[in-house]
């Protein structure tokens, strides 16, 4: 019997895009993030993508002390790969964004491959009440805020992270980001196997039409051949349709409340684990198998959980 392809499910638990007011299910403190991560891993996520928030107001933060409580709990209770953001928030400096990655030397960290407009302000039209005063201003300011990821920024993150044995989830929001990654591969600063996370549906990046997905795949194939692993992130209501399409084309998949607060019927998802379970069912009904954390480590050539600073 032919060996089935293994599909890595990455789960993004919380992030800077959605503010705590937008869903009562969004984990906004360390205990809630840890519990959400354990549930997502139990549901089938091999990789947990992690942001932190302040305990008082739920603001995005890159303070390592905000990461430490849930990192320690997750590390002690699951063998899932822990993936720390270096994106943080568009308002942060690169030095701030790098702090938890440098502190914990994770197996994987995310890395955005280009400066871009990152429009979150359309959410203002969907919500009339906010839990914290900072939230509407945060969304409004995205009309005039460039998420800065210059060549120097990317080189800094790459070289510092690689020195700690960290590999990267290369987040590509547009075709140009693939060419930027190729630049760093050609310079020897990014090594195969590459994990390319194609991101669809962020205002300012590539759209969510199936042709957009296929264009990303064709371009990545031409630039990187068989030296990369592809993963699909569809924002909002396109999370499941694009992940399904990607899985049929050879991709891994990403889900979680950072990327979409909703289920396929339009209701609020009660947890990231619900989304993981949904994608797991789809992957298995396609005749594929989900990867365990150790299988994900093998596929991505990661250093191993015994070599992180947690």
pLDDT band at 2 (very low <50, low <70, confident <90, very high): low
Omega cis (within 30) before 60? no
pLDDT band at 29 (very low <50, low <70, confident <90, very high): very high
| Mean local confidence (pLDDT), 190-208 | 96
Does pLDDT of 133 surpass 90? no
pLDDT band at 57 (very low <50, low <70, confident <90, very high): confident
Q: What is the mean pLDDT of the chain?
A: 94
CA Rg, the chain, in Å? 18
Furthest C-alpha separation in the chain? 58
Q: Which helix (H) or strand (E) holds 237?
A: none
Write down the residue that tokens 């690169």 correspond to.
Answer: 94
**pLDDT number for residue 1:** 47
Q: Partners of 230 in the beta sheet?
A: 196
**pLDDT number for residue 175:** 98
| Mean local confidence (pLDDT), 99-104 | 97
Percent above pLDDT 90 for the chain: 80
What six digits make up the tokens of 302? Answer: 């990661």
pTM, to two decimals:
0.95
| Mean local confidence (pLDDT), 80-86 | 97
Instruction: State pLDDT tens for residues 158-181.
Output: 999 999 999 999 999 999 999 999
Range from 3-12, 40-49, 263-272 that averages highest in pLDDT: 40-49
**pLDDT number for residue 17:** 76
**pLDDT number for residue 145:** 86
In this structure, what is the dihedral angle of CA atoms 277, 229, 257, 75, given to the nearest 10 degrees? Answer: 80
Does pLDDT of 188 surpass 60? yes
Chain-centroid distance of CA 88 in Å reads: 11
Instruction: State pLDDT tens for residues 258-286.
Output: 999 998 888 999 999 999 999 999 999 99
**pLDDT number for residue 99:** 97
**Residues 260, 249 contacting (CB under 8 angstroms):** no
Write down the residue that tokens 């709990």 correspond to.
Answer: 73
């Amino acid at each position: 019997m032919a060996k089935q392809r293994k599909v890595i499910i990455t789960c993004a638990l919380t992030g800077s895009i959605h503010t705590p007011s937008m869903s009562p299910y969004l984990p906004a403190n360390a205990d809630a993030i840890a519990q959400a991560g354990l549930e997502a891993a139990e549901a089938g996520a091999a990789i947990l993508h992690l942001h932190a928030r302040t305990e008082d107001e739920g603001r995005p933060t890159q303070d390592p002390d905000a990461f430490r409580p849930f990192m320690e709990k997750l590390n002690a209770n699951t063998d899932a790969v822990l993936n720390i953001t270096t994106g943080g928030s568009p308002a942060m400096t690169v030095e701030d964004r790098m702090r938890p990655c440098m502190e914990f030397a994770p197996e994987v960290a995310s890395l955005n491959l280009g400066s871009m407009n990152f429009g979150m302000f359309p959410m203002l039209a969907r919500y009339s009440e906010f839990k914290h005063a900072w939230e509407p201003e945060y969304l409004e300011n995205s009309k005039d805020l460039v998420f800065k990821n210059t060549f120097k920024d990317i080189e800094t993150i790459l070289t510092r992270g690689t020195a700690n044995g960290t590999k990267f989830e290369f987040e590509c929001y547009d075709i140009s980001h693939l060419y930027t990654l190729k630049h760093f591969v050609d310079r020897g600063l990014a090594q195969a196997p590459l994990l390319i996370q194609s991101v669809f549906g962020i205002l300012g990046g590539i759209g969510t039409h199936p042709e957009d997905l296929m264009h990303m795949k064709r371009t990545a194939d031409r630039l990187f051949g068989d030296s990369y692993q592809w993963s699909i992130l569809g924002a909002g209501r396109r999370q499941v349709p694009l992940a399904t399409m990607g899985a049929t084309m050879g991709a891994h998949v990403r889900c979680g409340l950072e990327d979409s607060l909703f289920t396929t019927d339009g209701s609020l998802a009660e947890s990231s684990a619900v989304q993981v379970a949904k994608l797991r069912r789809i992957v298995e009904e396609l005749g594929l198998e989900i990867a365990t954390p150790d299988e994900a480590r093998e596929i991505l050539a990661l250093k191993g959980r015994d070599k992180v600073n947690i």
